[in-house]
Amino acid sequence: MIFVPAERKDPMFEFLLSPIPGLIALGIVVFLIGLIYAKTVYKNAGPDEALVITGKKSKKTIVDGATMEESGQRVVHGQGVFITPFFQKAFKISLRSRAIEITAVAQDQNGVTLTVEAVAIVKVGDDPAAIRAAAQRFLGQDKNIDGFAQEVLSGSLRSSIGGTNVMTIIQKRDELGSSVLATARESLANQGVDVDSFEIKGITDENDYIRDLGRAEQAKVRRQAEVAEHQANREAQEAAILAEQAIAEAQNTLALRKAALQLDTDKAAAEAAAAKPLAEAKAQQAIVQEQELTAQRRASLRKAELESEVNAIADADAYRIRVTAIAAAEAAVAGANADRDSRIANAEALRAEGQAEADAILARGTAEATATRLSAEAVAEQSEALIQLRMVEMLPEIARELAAPMSNIDNLTVISTDGASQLTKNVASGFTEVDGVLKSTMGLGIRELLGNLVGGVAAGAAAATTVKPQASLTTAQQADVDHALAAPAVEA
Domain co-membership, 179 together with 149: yes
Task: Tell me, rounded to whole angstroms, the distance of Cα 78 from its chain centroid.
Answer: 75
Q: For the chain, give the percent of residues with pLDDT over 70.
A: 72
Name the amino acid, one letter, at 92: K
Residue at a domain's end among 44, 66, 90:
90
Residue 217 has pLDDT above 80, yes or no: no
Residue 229 domain-assigned (yes or no)? no
Domain co-membership, 200 together with 125: yes
| 89-94/80-82 β-pairing | unpaired
Name the amino acid, one letter, at 462: A
Please check whether residue 399 is in contact with residue 432, taking contact to mean a CB–CB distance below 8 angstroms.
Answer: no
Domain co-membership, 84 together with 115: no
Query: Three-state secondary structure along the chain?
Result: CCCCCCCCCCHHHHHHHCCHHHHHHHHHHHHHHHHHHHHHHEEECCCCEEEEEECCCCEEEEECCEEEEECCCEEECCCEEECCCCCCEEEEEECCCEEEEEEEEEECCCCCEEEEEEEEEEEECCCHHHHHHHHHHHCCCCHHHHHHHHHHHHHHHHHHHHCCCHHHHHHCHHHHHHHHHHHHHHHHHHCCEEEEEEEEEEEECCCCHHHHHHHHHHHHHHHHHHHHHHHHHHHHHHHHHHHHHHHHHHHHHHHHHHHHHHHHHHHHHHHHHHHHHHHHHHHHHHHHHHHHHHHHHHHHHHHHHHHHHHHHHHHHHHHHHHHHHHHHHHHHHHHHHHHHHHHHHHHHHHHHHHHHHHHHHHHHHHHHHHHHHHHHHHHHHCHHHHHHHHHHHHHHHHHHHHHHHHHCCCCCCCCCCCCCHHHHHHHHHHHHHHHHHHHHHHCCCHHHHHHHHHHHHHHHHHHHHCCCCCCCCCHHHHHHHHHHHHHHHHHC
CA distance 11 to 24: 18
Q: What is the pLDDT of residue 415?
A: 62
Q: What is the pLDDT of residue 340?
A: 74
User: Would you say the pTM of this structure is higher than 0.75?
Assistant: no
Q: What is the pLDDT of residue 491?
A: 36
The arithmetic mean of pLDDT across residues 200-210, rounded, is: 84
- Give 306-353 pLDDT, tens digit per residue: 888 877 887 787 788 878 878 877 777 777 777 777 777 777 777 777
Positive or negative: CA dihedral 275, 278, 280, 283: negative
Residue at a domain's end among 43, 74, 90:
90
- In order, the DSSP letters of 28-50 are HHHHHHHHHHHHHHEEE--TTEE
Q: What is the pLDDT of residue 247?
A: 92
Domain co-membership, 359 together with 470: yes
Domain co-membership, 44 together with 147: no
| Rounded (5°) CA angle 231-233-238 | 95
Residue 3 has pLDDT above 60, yes or no: no
Q: What is the pLDDT of residue 200?
A: 87
What is the three-class DSSP state of 414?
Answer: coil
Residue 466 has pLDDT above 50, yes or no: no
Residue 284 domain-assigned (yes or no)? no
Q: Higher pLDDT residue, 145 or 407?
A: 145
Q: Higher pLDDT residue, 23 or 437?
A: 23
Give the residue among 357, 350, 352 at the shortest CA–CA distance from 476: 357
Q: Which residues touch 473 (CB under 8 Å, ≥6 apart)?
A: 360, 363, 481
Q: Could you tell me the CATH number of the domain that includes residue 128?
A: 3.30.479.30
When pLDDT is cut at 50, 70 and 90, the band that residue 473 belongs to is very low
Partners of 203 in beta bridges: 116
CA distance 395 to 413: 28
Domain co-membership, 105 together with 177: yes
Domain co-membership, 110 together with 70: no
When pLDDT is cut at 50, 70 and 90, the band that residue 488 belongs to is very low
What is the three-class DSSP state of 339?
Answer: helix
Give the residue among 95, 96, 92, 100 at the shortest CA–CA distance from 139: 92
The arithmetic mean of pLDDT across residues 120-145, rounded, is: 82
Residue 184 domain-assigned (yes or no)? yes
Domain co-membership, 109 together with 142: yes
CA distance 244 to 83: 94
Residue 178 domain-assigned (yes or no)? yes
Q: Residue 52 phi/psi, 5° resolution?
A: -110, 110
- Give 370-380 pLDDT, tens digit per residue: 877 776 666 55
Domain co-membership, 356 together with 463: yes
When pLDDT is cut at 50, 70 and 90, the band that residue 59 belongs to is low
Domain count for the chain: 3
Q: What is the pLDDT of residue 127?
A: 83
H or E stretch covering 76 = strand 74-76
Domain co-membership, 53 together with 103: no
Q: Which residues touch 359 (CB under 8 Å, ≥6 apart)?
A: 477
Domain co-membership, 49 together with 102: no
Of 48-62, 134-148, 419-433, where does mean pLDDT reach its minimum? 419-433
- Give 70-98 pLDDT, tens digit per residue: 666 778 777 777 777 777 787 888 888 88
Residue 215 domain-assigned (yes or no)? no
What is the spatial order of strands in the sheet that 98-107 belongs to? 98-107, 113-124, 193-204
How many Å from the N-terminal Cα to the C-terminal Cα in the chain?
A: 195
Query: Residue 480: which domain range?
Result: 352-404+426-491
| 49-54/89-94 β-pairing | antiparallel
When pLDDT is cut at 50, 70 and 90, the band that residue 387 belongs to is low
Residue 160 domain-assigned (yes or no)? yes
- Give 11-40 pLDDT, tens digit per residue: 776 767 777 877 888 888 888 887 777 777
CA distance 192 to 12: 66
Positive or negative: CA dihedral 163, 165, 169, 171: negative
CA distance 293 to 276: 25
Q: What burial class does residue 161 get, using C-beta atoms within 10 Å of its C-beta: 0-12 exposed, 13-18 middle, 19+ buried?
A: buried
Residue 116 domain-assigned (yes or no)? yes
- Give 394-408 pLDDT, tens digit per residue: 767 776 766 666 666
Residue at a domain's end among 188, 207, 226:
207
Mean pLDDT of the chain: 75
- Give 229-269 pLDDT, tens digit per residue: 888 888 888 889 989 889 999 998 989 988 888 888 888 88
Residue 199 domain-assigned (yes or no)? yes
Please check whether residue 168 is in contact with residue 110, taking contact to mean a CB–CB distance below 8 angstroms.
Answer: no
When pLDDT is cut at 50, 70 and 90, the band that residue 474 belongs to is very low
Domain co-membership, 51 together with 71: yes
Q: For the chain, give the percent of residues with pLDDT over 90.
A: 1
